[in-house]
Structure 1
Amino acid sequence: MQSGTVTAAQKTYTLEEAYEASLKYFRGDDLAARVWVNKYALKDSDGNLFELTPDDMHRRIAKEIARVETKYANPMSEQEIFDHIKEFKYIVPQGSPMAGIGNPFQIASLSNCFVIGNDGMSDSYGGVMKIDQEQVQLMKRRGGVGHDLSHIRPKGSGVKNSALTSTGLVPFMERYSNSTREVAQDGRRGALMLSVSINHPDAEDFIDAKMEQGKVTGANVSVRIDDDFMKAVANGGEYVQKFPIHSPQPKTSKVIEAKKLWEKIVHNAWKSAEPGILFWDTITKESVPDCYGDLGYTTVSTNPCGEIPLCPYDSCRLLAMNLFSYVENPFTPQASFNFELFKAHAQVAQRMMDDIIDLELEKIDNILEKIDADPEGEEVKRVEKNLWLNIRKKAEEGRRTGIGITAEGDMLASLGFRYGSEEANDFSVEVHKTLALAVYRGSVNLAKERGAFGIYDTEREKNNPFVQRIKEADEELYYEMSEHGRRNIALLTIAPTGTTSLMTQTTSGIEPVFLPVYKRRRKVNPNDKDVRVDFVDEVGDSWEEYVVFHHRFKQWMEANNIDVSANYSQEELNELVAKSPYYKATSNDVDWLSKVRLQGRVQKWVDHSISVTINLPSDVSESLVGELYLEAWRVGCKGVTVYRDGSRSGVLISTEEKKEEDNDTLEHFPLTRPEVLEAEVVRFQNNKEKWIAFIGLSDGKPYEIFTGLADDEDGILLPRWVNEGYIIKNRNEDGTGRYDFQFENKRGYKTTIEGLSHKFDPEYWNYAKLISSTLRHGMPIEKVVELINSLQLDSESINTWKNGVARALKRFVPDGTEIKGQTCMNCNGTNLIYQEGCLTCKDCGSSKCG
């Protein structure tokens, strides 16, 4: 069993105390402090905080890893481990490991991502439902999930049931997407990747599925493209789609023009940033685990961000190395990269990652114990239990790790390289080659001490291109690996490192800087002393503008004796940037083809994959997107995603199309309330109070809402597993109307909660009738949310209600919807969109949910 128990006597902290202490820790960085407190500080289900600053978190992690170390020879001490991870300086556990290691309040996995799939990839309804349940079970324990749909028979195929023919891929995409949207993980929705082979006859339907606004909003989608298709595109030839895919004796097949389908992929990606592309032959040919395909390690899909291709029931934990910290004398003529320290730390990182696998096995054992202790019958628990047994087997047998990097952009700038230049690309490749060799050497050393992963076989791997690259670069390492084996089946990845980079205060992953400097506003009282008023808005509020520097840009200024406190004009700021190593090196400046070529070159030294986005301005042509995709294939990328500025809101953008959509909304919404409505249950927390909302749906869109406290005395206590049901319009004995909620319990019996309208405070109900009326008359949901937010209410409890209703309805705002009249809390930009219920700034990338 894992340690990490918290005693009743252990000190707790208020949110304000932790925020203030963390703000000091991050040297005034408000966003980093809030992210750490909200996402990673140890807390129980009541919101009690047990950690004041990240130092406490790093002590917790170091203690647990040191406990595992004592099981093996030459153990590292807790202090040694702490020194490597403290201050987010060198080695940074990411996401689930950071939140979960030593956390006694979570019965959850330490894995960041999983892939699932059926044996034999059955597309029976039993198989489909099994995958759906496995996906939900993983997401409730904080994991991102991927699975492939290539096994589902194409539309119109014969089936031996009452339907007679198959419905094809799209309904199953919707099913899995909807399941994702239902599952909350510490206030955030699950993450899902759906993929399909271009060889599947329904590939075009898959590619088009997300082009209709509001469809498949709970999943990322990527197409697995093989070399034959790419060659047909390049040569203008035909391509044969089959089912089963790539079968020598298919049940169905059809000949298509490869270029025509390719142009549709390019058009959709240009317009909506999806689908992503996975170059599948490159992935499987380069994959070291695929050398063990007949033993269950055939790669079938990727995690939601695409950086970890996995076999069914395998998982991966992520850890990043902060490249900026290995630059000595940064931003000076004496700047240099300490390769020796980097190599030494890389081997320590691999050792820690292997320890984290042992901690993961303990976590899975805890999950299995929880399942066994649950009161449900064995039939109900069987799928969940077998799921975790399968995951445990893969984790223990293959011991897969995911070591990556962050701060690539800052590392290059601090050494005087311009991101995207040839010399910068050359240096990046050298760094990633060094990392690969050091990590593989660390895994070989671990095999000497602890034993190789269970199925290691030199003969199986000898012709793998990645392993051959290791041999060519370091023959001694290769022969040591041949003799002693390797501790881990695969080792390297490059993930996005979104919140990780906020805490390292560096650029993210392999990406360049987003913006080196931007302006922000804060509201001020113009009567206060020493306040500068730069802007008065339309309602008369006064604002002061101030400059925010990217942390390492500020460090460049200090290294070059430039005053960081001066009040610079925009022209002066532009001149500053032009003098800096960040000039022409932002995500919107970097030459796109150069970035693709960098990805292809670095990919040669990453045995999993790389999450990277090619950012494009709004006015680029579709043909350029196609050219970038082709170049990515040619240079050996395993996958590629483009984002054209504004493309997420590029679906249904014309005025005529929008009018048609609005009219359709009015037509399909019945103005007379039906007797029965399908309903979705949304749970949320306002301050420390638990709230619940029942949202009646018409044609899948909100039609009415009831909400209030979720407890016996003042509201409704509903089992946690109830996420949907029906709202039924009924009458009391005196003839007055009421609304009841009905759901099916786990024994299959219907349970009814009477009187939703009377279970909550009458004042809530009066406002709810107002909101429901606007919904029933087809007012766009984002406008309803704006209306709710604008309500001027005196009562604190009603304001709490207001926030809860807005939060519940945001879940239904179509992704990509632009928001007018609001500003970003981070950069005060106005370029805001809804993304999976969260308000996201396209200028600085920050996101606010709830």
Structure 2
Amino acid sequence: MSAKTTPKGLKEVTYNDAVARSKEYFGGDELAATVWVSKYALKDSFGHIYESSPEDMHHRIAAEIERIEKNYPNPLSRDEIFALLDHFRYVIPQGGPMTGIGNNLQIASLSNCFVIGHKKPADSYGGIIRMDEEQVQIMKRRGGVGHDLSHLRPTGSPVLNSALTSTGIVPFMERYSNSTREVAQDGRRGALMLTISIKHPDAERFIDAKVDTSKVTGANVSVKIDDEFMRAAIAGKPYHQQFPIDAEKPMYEQDIDARALWKKIIHNAWKSAEPGVLFWDTILRESIPDCYADEGFNTVSTNPCGEIPLCPYDSCRLLALNLYSYVDKPFTAEASFDFSKFRDHVGKAMRMMDDIIDLELEKVEQIIAKIDADPEEADIRYVESNLWKKVREMALKGRRTGLGITAEGDMIAALGMRYGSDKAVAFAVEVHKTLALAAYGASVEMAEERGAFPLYDAARELDNPMIARIREADPALYERMVKSGRRNIAMLTIAPTGTTSLMSQTTSGIEPVFRPVYKRRRKINPSDHNVKVAFVDDTGERFEEFYVFHHNFVEWARVNGHDTSTLATISDAELEKLVAASPYHKATANDIDWVAKVKMQGAIQKWVDHSISVTVNLPNEVSEELVADVYRTAWECGCKGVTVYRDGCREGVLLDKKQKKKGGDKGAADGSLKRPKSLPADIVRFKNGQEEWIAFVGLMDGRPYEIFTGKLEEDALYIPRKITKGNIIKVREADGKKRYDFQYTDRYGYTNTVGGISRLFDEEFWNYAKLISGVLRHGMPIDNVVSLIESLHLNSETINTWKNGVERALKQYIVDGTKSKEKCPSCGQETLVYQNGCLTCVSCGYSKCG
């Protein structure tokens, strides 16, 4: 952007200058600096940067919140707000609020998460497509989305159109997943949660939908399980499914083996970390907004990470308190938690959250105004405009907030406790109880000063379990609430704080430390001197190894008299001894006993009116029975949801070691797997310049084995666009030559054959395709094949365009979680993994796709 078009009052900053300033701000932490600049610094739509460090951002946010505060009695000053925000010490806006507050350069929502749906079930193509459009309209404004599929009729149900019967849930899961992958959000993809009731007859198909790792890659999936199902699964009794799920006279009913379906849920979660489980009766029973279900606050799904159950068109903004900062004299015998300061800051944080709702309402008005001013026809703009009007209505009626915490693991360690111990759990519960009472107290005080949320009715909430706990813990607070109401319908959550915790340099959410110390490798350049070679890769590149330390582990060492300047050079034995002496010993994500973790989550959940996003990390060798115990214990302990991740369950390629051994014994003479006469195949279409091209990807055991590509000429080759699958047939002609035919079945059930698909190649394309097919047949991991293709630097523009199409065709077969040997170009770490076929950095969030 030229100087003439630089926004008034702003000064453009180069990326390098912003990183340098931010690195100084973060005390030399380059990863925190690059994360902040890449994700949260003020930018315009062209990517130009207008803030040089988080200090600028915090001044921007403080100024806007002060502007709203002045509309109400007893306003917080800008200096007070800035002091809470500075250095991510106490109050940390998350995601949307951090990037969007005071940002007049982009029109985007401040809400982190939304749920969409229909007031009446819309089991029609019109309703399905409406949901799809609303989903992408929210995602383009930076929101994550959740919606439920329980209203869609099951497979085989009669429909009044030319299809005659319904295709069921799964095709629409893929539709919504693909839409998510298409929406870019400043270097990342949109986030989607799909849910279904276990009572739905298609629940099993939903649960199996992600077994094929190339399908539904753009969505998280969770199944909504009721108490009746859990009791039936444990007792080995039948369970009744029906559609519609809440109908007194359903159109379809069936009884199933609950234990068998439960085992399938467990097996799939063990194998691929999905589906997650939502204990839906617990969610509804505990939900305060559902006391107002007849006013539209009926909870139907959750946001993509599961921490905010929501009604249709409601949304939530997130803000976290840094628990570590409330520990006085951390890591000493005199360490203590400052409950007085914590209560005071919770009250101020709640005021800030309520201010952010007003700021969000301003943003929504700007979005609506932009839509109204767009030159498109009114009927095209209607869905988007109406969507945001419904979002505005729900925000005004409920004023929902998402106040949470981070750094629980560091707080526990700083107080000298071991994460997961009975003492630590009891203390954590007391902290969250304090948080809940202070937050509800602040909401009542705001109701007295600013007015209650419009629907407040004490009688409706009388029997709610969360309200009952508040009434028992603080009767005086409850009496004030009955008299004056409450400003916010619900207000507490514990969200994941991945990049946020990088910047606060603490543990994430309620999670323990991932590792206090781990090793990384750095490539050695020829000009480097006095370096120790620790590793040489297959290409001869040399690497040194170095330790990376958790920030507060170093602080513990410093406080306890250790020379932290020598940490990088001490021996492994000395380092192990140091870790063993620290409060982080046997308290990492892989050390924590799952029972203690789930019970801790359940105990804390009693004081969180929304939900908690947490993952139970399990070692690779655990059994499916152990996963079942985790899920069952979570239900018994009162958790609202649970997800497990078995170490390595999403890593690697589809071809396992046993298959490779088989290839040597029973395959071709060169050790590759022997090709059968017929292989199933997928079709991928792409543009080569202005030409329409097609790729046939032959699959063996679900993995690409060969690829044929060529120009799609209508007079020589016609395959209907709806055909996406078929078979590649190897044919031996009379003269001994081979050819490959493609066969597919059309909509009428007829088999069609396209003879000699290899004729589509000219010589140059054919030679490169033979190379690619050769490495595929010998079992090279798909991500390595894609890297090989990317590295081909060819002189012909046409062949380069073709090469890009082949990359696209193969990327969809990369299993999510597959690691790359490349370094992240943004943060420099070796933490690139494939997600949805795209290289993404798990350290800083960089995405090679956008």
The answer, yes or no, to whether TM exceeds 0.5 is yes
Corresponding residue for residue 365 of structure 1: 365
Cα distance 1:770–1:382, how it changes in 2: closer, same or farther (>3 A)? farther
Q: Is the 1:679–1:727 Cα contact (8 Å) retained in structure 2?
A: no
Corresponding residue for residue 352 of structure 1: 352
Q: Is the 2:147–2:195 Cα contact (8 Å) retained in structure 1?
A: yes
Q: Is the 1:273–1:642 Cα contact (8 Å) retained in structure 2?
A: yes
Query: Please, which of 602, 605, 623 is the counterpart of residue 604 of structure 2?
Result: 602
Corresponding residue for residue 594 of structure 2: 592
The one-letter code sitting in structure 2 at the alignment partner of 1:609 is S
Partner Cα separation in structure 2 for residue 472 and residue 429 of structure 1: 16
Partner Cα separation in structure 1 for residue 424 and residue 62 of structure 2: 35
Corresponding residue for residue 579 of structure 2: 577
Corresponding residue for residue 751 of structure 1: none
Corresponding residue for residue 734 of structure 2: none
Cα distance 1:72–1:776, how it changes in 2: closer, same or farther (>3 A)? farther
Corresponding residue for residue 622 of structure 1: 624
Partner Cα separation in structure 2 for residue 637 and residue 148 of structure 1: 20
Deviations 1:161-215 (A, max 9, x none): 1111111111111111111111111121111000000000111010001001201
Partner Cα separation in structure 1 for residue 116 and residue 90 of structure 2: 33
Q: Is the 1:665–1:778 Cα contact (8 Å) retained in structure 2?
A: no
Cα displacement (A) at 1:20: 1.0
Corresponding residue for residue 645 of structure 1: 647
Q: How does 1:324-403 map to 2 (within 5 A)?
A: 324-403=324-403
Secondary structure at 1:363's aligned position in 2?
helix
Q: How does 1:5-404 map to 2 (within 5 A)?
A: 7-8=7-8, 10-404=10-404
Cα distance 1:21–1:692, how it changes in 2: closer, same or farther (>3 A)? farther
The one-letter code sitting in structure 1 at the alignment partner of 2:598 is V
Corresponding residue for residue 564 of structure 1: 564
Q: Is the 1:519–1:546 Cα contact (8 Å) retained in structure 2?
A: yes
Corresponding residue for residue 836 of structure 1: 836
Q: Is the 1:521–1:827 Cα contact (8 Å) retained in structure 2?
A: no
Partner Cα separation in structure 1 for residue 767 and residue 298 of structure 2: 55
Partner Cα separation in structure 1 for residue 23 and residue 171 of structure 2: 47
Number of residue pairs matched by the alignment: 781
Cα distance 1:157–1:655, how it changes in 2: closer, same or farther (>3 A)? farther
Cα displacement (A) at 1:591: 0.5
Cα distance 1:665–1:307, how it changes in 2: closer, same or farther (>3 A)? farther
Cα displacement (A) at 1:811: 6.0
Cα distance 1:826–1:106, how it changes in 2: closer, same or farther (>3 A)? closer
Are 2:433 and 1:433 aligned?
Answer: yes
The one-letter code sitting in structure 1 at the alignment partner of 2:786 is V
The one-letter code sitting in structure 2 at the alignment partner of 1:434 is T
Deviations 1:793-837 (A, max 9, x none): 899x99x99998899678635333634655678999978642224
Cα distance 1:571–1:145, how it changes in 2: closer, same or farther (>3 A)? same
The one-letter code sitting in structure 2 at the alignment partner of 1:614 is V
Partner Cα separation in structure 2 for residue 92 and residue 804 of structure 1: 41
Are 2:774 and 1:785 aligned?
Answer: no
Partner Cα separation in structure 2 for residue 585 and residue 785 of structure 1: 39
Corresponding residue for residue 634 of structure 1: 636
Cα displacement (A) at 1:64: 1.0
Cα distance 1:375–1:544, how it changes in 2: closer, same or farther (>3 A)? same
The one-letter code sitting in structure 1 at the alignment partner of 2:788 is L
Partner Cα separation in structure 1 for residue 301 and residue 181 of structure 2: 20
Partner Cα separation in structure 1 for residue 545 and residue 816 of structure 2: 28
Q: Is the 2:652–2:815 Cα contact (8 Å) retained in structure 1?
A: no
Q: How does 1:689-838 map to 2 (within 5 A)?
A: 729=713, 779=776, 781-791=782-792, 812-816=812-816, 818-819=818-819, 821-822=821-822, 833-838=833-838
Cα displacement (A) at 1:452: 0.3
Corresponding residue for residue 740 of structure 2: none
Cα displacement (A) at 1:364: 0.6
Secondary structure at 2:622's aligned position in 1?
coil
Deviations 1:231-283 (A, max 9, x none): 11121211111111143321111111111110000000001100000000000
Cα displacement (A) at 1:545: 2.1
Partner Cα separation in structure 2 for residue 767 and residue 29 of structure 1: 49
Partner Cα separation in structure 2 for residue 168 and residue 778 of structure 1: 38
Cα displacement (A) at 1:788: 3.7
Q: Is the 2:786–2:810 Cα contact (8 Å) retained in structure 1?
A: yes
Secondary structure at 1:147's aligned position in 2?
strand
Secondary structure at 1:41's aligned position in 2?
coil
Cα distance 1:163–1:588, how it changes in 2: closer, same or farther (>3 A)? same
Q: Is the 2:410–2:506 Cα contact (8 Å) retained in structure 1?
A: yes
Deviations 1:291-328 (A, max 9, x none): 00011000000000000000000000000000001111
Cα displacement (A) at 1:547: 1.5
Cα distance 1:664–1:128, how it changes in 2: closer, same or farther (>3 A)? farther
Deviations 1:113-170 (A, max 9, x none): 0000122111111000000110111111111100000011111111111111111111
Corresponding residue for residue 745 of structure 1: none
Partner Cα separation in structure 2 for residue 322 and residue 90 of structure 1: 5
Cα displacement (A) at 1:848: 5.3
Deviations 1:377-429 (A, max 9, x none): 11111111111110110011110000010000001001001000000000100
Cα displacement (A) at 1:539: 3.6
Cα distance 1:768–1:321, how it changes in 2: closer, same or farther (>3 A)? farther
Q: Is the 2:6–2:12 Cα contact (8 Å) retained in structure 1?
A: no
Partner Cα separation in structure 1 for residue 697 and residue 580 of structure 2: 54
Secondary structure at 1:185's aligned position in 2?
coil
TM-score (norm 1): 0.85
Partner Cα separation in structure 1 for residue 707 and residue 51 of structure 2: 41
The one-letter code sitting in structure 2 at the alignment partner of 1:621 is S
Corresponding residue for residue 495 of structure 2: 495
Greater mean deviation of Cα atoms: 532-541 or 545-554:
532-541
Q: Percent identity?
A: 57
Corresponding residue for residue 744 of structure 2: none
Cα distance 1:802–1:363, how it changes in 2: closer, same or farther (>3 A)? farther
Corresponding residue for residue 685 of structure 1: none
